[in-house]
């Protein structure tokens, strides 16, 4: 199948403002791009790019004073298959985990393992280890939180989401990640495109989506506590410890996001 993806973001800056943008499709999906997701700026500004410590492709610009429009319009091929489900995947003991997964056992900006550890063991200590435990965590988070954009807050942490019982997709992911780490399962945050392909209407407003990956049986598997069902057509942008590592824009000066549009549509033919 083919999926049209893209975005249009409009910022208003009262002065020239440096920005780091994490908007490019992840390198693991580059070979799937039929039309590349080149970042376009209006007005045109110089742009440079680099890979961050997690392998994400980031762009650097200095936004001029006034309005700046950032956009991309791409086409990606996809298998059309839902997320993999592997009930047999086992949990690996901490002492046997690869070195590069250990970072994803630790607390981070939005995932306070120290505050949630006792709660996690009370909730999931008797659940099946391995895939079943991660699924039990997703089931709990999916039922514990009530979704709503009115509950969005860019400073909200996993602990706060747990206490408030509300959130958006990033809050579902943060709470599930924190619980996984508390149960000695490496977990990392993912952001990207996820449309409503294969889902019945009504459809909500399109946005970038947050989910997570857990390390089981020697590989990373996709989990989604917000939707809590295998989905079709995920297109990864970035991975990190939590949302702080994969912000679509990190700005170094005053600015206002004036408009925001994300596109993810299946294309026939």
pLDDT tens digits for range 153-167: 999 999 999 999 999
Categorize the per-residue pLDDT at 269 as very low, low, confident or very high, splitting at 50, 70 and 90. low
Assess whether pLDDT exceeds 90 at residue 200: no
How far, in Å, CA of 115 to CA of 182, rounded?
A: 10
- Looking at the domain assignment, is residue 167 inside a domain? yes
Residues 197 and 109 in one domain: yes
pLDDT at site 199: 86
> Could you tell me if residue 253 is inside a domain?
yes
Half-sphere exposure of 221 (CA within 13 A, CB side): 24
Tally of structural domains, the chain: 2
Query: Does 98 share its domain with 70?
Result: no
Q: Residue 66, Cβ neighbours under 10 Å: how many?
A: 12
Q: At what angle do helices 131-144 and 169-182 cross, to 10 degrees?
A: 140
Alpha-carbon span 30 to 147, nearest angstrom: 32
In contact, 176 and 225? CB cutoff 8 Å: yes
In a domain, 89, yes or no: no
Considering the domain architecture, whether residues 219 and 260 belong to the same structural domain is answered as no
Is 66 contained in some domain?
yes
With a CB cutoff of 8 Å and minimum separation 6, the contacts of 126 are none
Task: List the structure tokens of 252.
Answer: 């170094």
Question: Tell me, what CATH number does 68's domain have?
Answer: 2.60.40.2250
CATH of the domain at 125: 3.10.620.30
**87, part of any domain:** no
Q: What is the pLDDT of residues 67-112, one digit of tens each?
A: 999 999 999 999 999 999 999 999 999 999 999 999 999 999 999 9
Cis peptide bond upstream of 51, omega within 30 = no
Confidence at residue 173, expressed as pLDDT on a 0 to 100 scale:
98
Q: Model pTM?
A: 0.96
């Amino acid at each position: 199948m083919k999926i049209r993806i893209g975005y249009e973001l409009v910022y208003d800056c009262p002065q020239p403002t440096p920005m780091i943008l994490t908007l490019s499709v992840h390198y693991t999906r580059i070979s799937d791009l039929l039309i590349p997701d080149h970042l376009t700026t209006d007005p045109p500004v110089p742009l440079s790019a680099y890979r961050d410590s997690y392998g994400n492709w980031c762009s650097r610009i200095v936004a001029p004073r006034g309005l700046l429009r950032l956009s991309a319009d791409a086409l990606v091929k996809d298998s059309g298959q839902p997320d993999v489900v592997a009930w047999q995947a086992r949990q690996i003991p901490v002492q046997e985990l690869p070195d590069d997964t250990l970072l994803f056992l630790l607390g981070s900006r939005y995932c306070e393992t120290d505050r949630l550890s006792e709660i996690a063991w009370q909730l999931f200590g008797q659940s099946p280890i391995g895939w079943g435990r991660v699924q039990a965590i997703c089931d709990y988070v999916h039922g514990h939180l009530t979704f709503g954009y009115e509950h969005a807050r860019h400073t909200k942490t996993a602990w706060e989401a747990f206490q408030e019982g509300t959130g958006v997709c990033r809050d579902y992911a943060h709470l599930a990640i924190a619980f996984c780490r508390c149960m000695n399962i490496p977990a990392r945050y993912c952001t990207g495109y996820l449309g409503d392909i294969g889902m019945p209407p009504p459809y909500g407003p399109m946005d970038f989506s947050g989910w997570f990956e857990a390390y089981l049986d020697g590989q990373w598997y996709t989990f989604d506590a917000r939707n809590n069902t295998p989905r079709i057509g995920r297109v990864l942008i970035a991975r990190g410890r939590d949302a702080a590592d994969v912000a679509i824009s990190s700005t170094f000066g005053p600015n206002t996001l004036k408009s925001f549009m994300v596109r993810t549509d299946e294309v026939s033919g």
